[in-house]
Amino acid sequence: MPKLSIRDLDLNGKRVFMRVDFNVPLAPGGQEITSDKRIKAALPTIQYALDHGAGLVLASHLGRPKGKVNPEMSLKPVAVRLSELLGKPVAFAPDCVGPAVEAMLPAPGETLLLENLRYHPEEEKNDPGFSAQLAKLGDVYVNDAFGTAHRAHASTEGIIQFLKPAAAGLLMEKELTYLEKCTKNPAHPCVGILGGAKVSDKIEVIENLLKFADRLLIGGAMAYTFLKAQGKPTGKSLVEADKVELAKSLLDKFGDKLMLPVDHIVAAEFAENAPNEAVDEIPDGKMGMDIGPKTAAAFGEVLRSAKTIIWNGPMGVFEKKPFDKGTIAVGLAVAESGALSVVGGGDSEKAVKSAGVADKISHISTGGGASLEYLSGLVLPGVAALTDKK
């Protein structure tokens, strides 16, 4: 059932407790933000709430302070940057719960950013008492932090036991809309692209995608485990020896849908601009670093005829040139397909940007782990807890 959206709420005069993802990268020392894209991603929902007469309490984690106060992981620089982006003051609380915070609660049109939720160990433990303290700070709850939706924490799930209605923010709503479009009755042909290092990270994704995808293209180091399962030489390539039998069973079960590399770019060492060559079979003493040109062409042919594309993970060691060519070729094919395309976060986002086609992708997810779990068919606690639409 669809979840309640912030658009469905009467916000006028209400205090909104909004979970956002302000887990931004900071320069050493914790005073300077090196990328504000996560802050900018939350701006539409923040502005919507303010424009509709709400007082706004924003809550986020930053880094992994492990339940202790760490000044290098303070959200104070975020309050400064958010104030600049909004063009109005953003108050900053010294903590995220307690009397001092309650004394600072915002009036309609005002914004208060709480200090790092993870300074309290109760946040990650989903402690009911801590959840209740957070709930005292709002009249309604909005979750716009898709990147933490796969965590059952106090600010993403526990608080909703004490604070309802609970709605999705605009960014969360967009994430769910696109993920649902490509997994629930997608337009066919539906093609999945999986890369990255480990089969073990993607087992559930493979099995779930193949319930509705017509083809699954496998690249990256995880392909070598599958090639090993086929009895093909893998040289010094990264192979998960304990997952070869699993790869074999997946090939036996889904072999007609799985598409593996037919050639490879190999090198003797893991280094930028290492001497390399394209080969059909990986020789001893060499390791696979990228898909080869024949594979890139074959993958491209499948992708250009697709109507729905789901992409998670690069095709090779794309951060080291010239081993980015396979990922770039795949990115260009996705862009040229005109298909509804959804790309998982993290390395997948970097791969799309390195291919120069980010503006041609329908949706680039802001949550790598969350999108991966969604594509695995797992329930995301932060989504499941939101109020259902009637």
Catalytic residues: 38, 198, 346, 369
- Both tokens of 203, joined, read 């087992």
Find out whether 303 and 330 touch, Cβ atoms under 8 Å.
yes
What burial letters (b/e) apply to 278-302, b meaning 16+ CB within 10 Å?
A: ebeebeeebbbbbbbeebbebbbeb
Rounded to the nearest 10 degrees, the angle between the axes of helix 347-354 and helix 325-337 is 80
Query: Position 369: which residue type?
Result: G
Find out whether 197 and 219 touch, Cβ atoms under 8 Å.
no
- Both tokens of 70, joined, read 């760490």
Residue showing tokens 């040109």: 293
